[in-house]
Amino acid sequence: MEQGKVQVYTGDGKGKTTAAVGLAVRAAGNGLNVYFGQFMKHGKTGELEAFRVLGGRVSAEQFGTGDELSAPDPQRDAQAARHGLACAREAMASGNYDVVILDEANVAEMLGYFAPGALLDAVRERPEGVELVITGRGASDEVMAAADLVTEMREVKHYYRDGVPARRGIEF
């Protein structure tokens, strides 16, 4: 790509990761190489299986412990997130990827898992030809100001409020 942009998908509504996955699939379908780094997530997800089916155009890694929500260990969770951000920055600088997606990185930053300013530094380090997408609720004002596109997903109504748990294939 001649000129990449920075996109942020944030807000309390559903669809941030789904939008990023859709962008990854579209990019791969158009011959672009994608790096998809998932923060705060660990284990089998539908998106990882879809990327496997796509073949070598999408490289995905997870940088969660799997316990962030159920039994958080802030020190261990932060270590996993910091490692993930280092890997993502390396991928972004490698020249191997046209699109770099940092899924749930806003949440990791909001929880203090990164050093202050580290996510913003990653945005500023982005090579000109790389499209960078950052998802997750709670995007900082600084990251949003540095972005070229910010989409806020807003919950109007959600069946979770009626006790419906996350469903495989729909929410994960």
What pLDDT, in 10s, does the model give residues 98-117? 999 999 999 999 999 999 99
The answer to whether residue 170 sits within a structural domain is: no
Collapsing DSSP to helix, strand or coil, 134 comes out as strand
Whole-structure pTM value: 0.94
What does the buried/exposed string (b/e) look like for 63-89 if buried means 16 or more CB atoms within 10 Å of the residue's CB?
Answer: bbbeebeeeeeeeebbebbbebbeebb
Query: What pairs with residue 151 in β-bridges?
Result: 9
The answer to whether residue 84 sits within a structural domain is: yes
Position 72 confidence tier, pLDDT thresholds 50, 70, 90: confident
The answer to whether residue 33 sits within a structural domain is: yes
The answer to whether residue 119 sits within a structural domain is: yes
Q: How much is the pLDDT for 66?
A: 79
Q: Report the C-alpha dihedral over residues 99, 102, 104, 108, rounded to 10 degrees.
A: -160
The answer to whether residue 164 sits within a structural domain is: no
The answer to whether residue 168 sits within a structural domain is: no
CATH of the domain at 31: 3.40.50.300
Domain that holds residue 125: 6-147
CA distances, 159 to each of 11, 44, 100, 164 (Å): 17, 23, 31, 6
Number of domains, the chain: 1
Q: How much is the pLDDT for 166?
A: 85
The answer to whether residue 165 sits within a structural domain is: no
The answer to whether residue 70 sits within a structural domain is: yes
Q: How much is the pLDDT for 167?
A: 85
